[in-house]
Amino acid sequence: MLSSYQRVLREPGALLFSLTGLVARLPISMAGLGIVLLVEASTGSYGVAGAVSAAYMVANALLAIAQGRLVDRLGQGLVLSTASVLFGVAMVLLVWSVQDGWPMATTYAAAAVAGGTLPQIGSCVRARWSHVLSRPTDVQTAFALEAVVDEACFILGPITVTLLATAVHPVAGLAVAVVAGVAGGLFFASQRATEPPRQRHDAATGPRPAMPWRTVAPLAVVSAALGVLFGAAEVTTVAFSEEQDAKAWAGALLALWALGSLLSGVVTGAITWRRGPAVRVRWGSLAMAAAMVPLLFVDSMVAMGLLLLVGGVAIAPTLVATLSLTERTVPPGRLTEGMAIMQTGLVAGVAPGATLSGVVVDARGASAAYLVPVVAGLLAAVAAQLLPRGDDAEPTAASAGDAPHDDLTRGDTTTGAGAATAAATDPGGRAVPSSAPVEPDPLRPPG
């Protein structure tokens, strides 16, 4: 079962950049909570702490796509190393301003700069996998591996930052996140052998390729809706635990949800899918909405834990399919930007989801508040139906052969030769000889 993972990790440099990426993106799950714990310990106000953390998160959401575009143009090495240093400096200033009682405007500004410069490691790791691997099935496995890494971050990060901030010092948890982000980011940026080439666009090379918005726009809506689902489900689960007089176990319930996703992520990368990522996004979004429905009727912590564990199984396959479809359709010269759009959608949806569910909890209680993630899941499922159809079969190892991955999945973005020379599959998944006529692929950007 694990042979597919062994195959992708045997690529030169792959294991190193994947492990480095794990360390470098720990701030994603630690910094926001660490800021809350630090500011609350200093000011005694969760309201102020939440506002500072919000400044960090909003700036990150607003600037992530711009950073992805810079990475594609200037290269990961330059952009990530610069962003890592700026992130570290801004976080040090944030901590200093809180500890020494500087004006709050300084703290808000430092938080915004830190959020805006947080290195987009997740998008860059996936761009590297797309660069170093040649078979679409291997890219699928690599993306599943990164989904497992993401879940590991979101299980370990909050526990670590909370333990350090409460048992050691309020600064300790945030300090670990900063060291991991800066050191990991700089080391990741220094690994030039696996770095995708820069994509310069000028008078000599021509304009940058168009973004395939017919696919990217619905996927962005799917990502944002799933972000709403995540934010709403987390807040509602905490409220449910408090109603059950077991608030201390809220983290355990959310960990079970993440565990279900982690386990399904491992399976996702170990099997060969017969249907393409567009189909899996459609069904996965619907499954995530359906998994929320039983939570409306639960009144037991044990039952809630079991349902969240099972419901989590739908998360990783859906996210992997979303990013796989992005990788398959976005031109190489804008791949990091495309990945950043999806990641930004997820992040941007969390705060509205948490807010909406909080309003419903106050008015109707936790059980009724699970309607918010149900509706968000249905919105994602509707958006997924807008994805172009016509390339719903997953390329197989037999049809993929040893063709370069970029040519096989996107076509040659300069001449369009990839679609004419690579082997294809018919809607039933059967191999079609490369000499046979191939229908135009609506999921591929124009050559």
pLDDT in tens, 86-121: 999 999 999 999 999 999 999 999 999 999 999 999
What's the mean per-residue pLDDT of the chain?
82
Structure tokens at 165: 């901030």
**Global pTM?**
0.73
CB-side neighbour CA atoms (13 Å) of 95:
20
Instruction: Taking residues 311-320, report their average pLDDT.
Output: 91
Q: Angle at Cα 88 formed by Cα 85 and Cα 89, nearest 5°?
A: 85
β-bridge pairing 424-425 and 431-432: antiparallel
Structure tokens at 94: 């944030």
Weakest mean pLDDT among 165-179, 191-205, 243-257: 191-205
The torsion angles phi and psi of 180, rounded to 5 degrees, stand at: -65, -45
Q: Quick one: pLDDT band at residue 195, thresholds 50, 70, 90?
A: very high
The Cα 247–Cα 239 span in angstroms is 8
- Summarize pLDDT for 243-281 with one digit per residue, the tens: 899 877 877 888 889 889 888 888 888 777 788 889 999
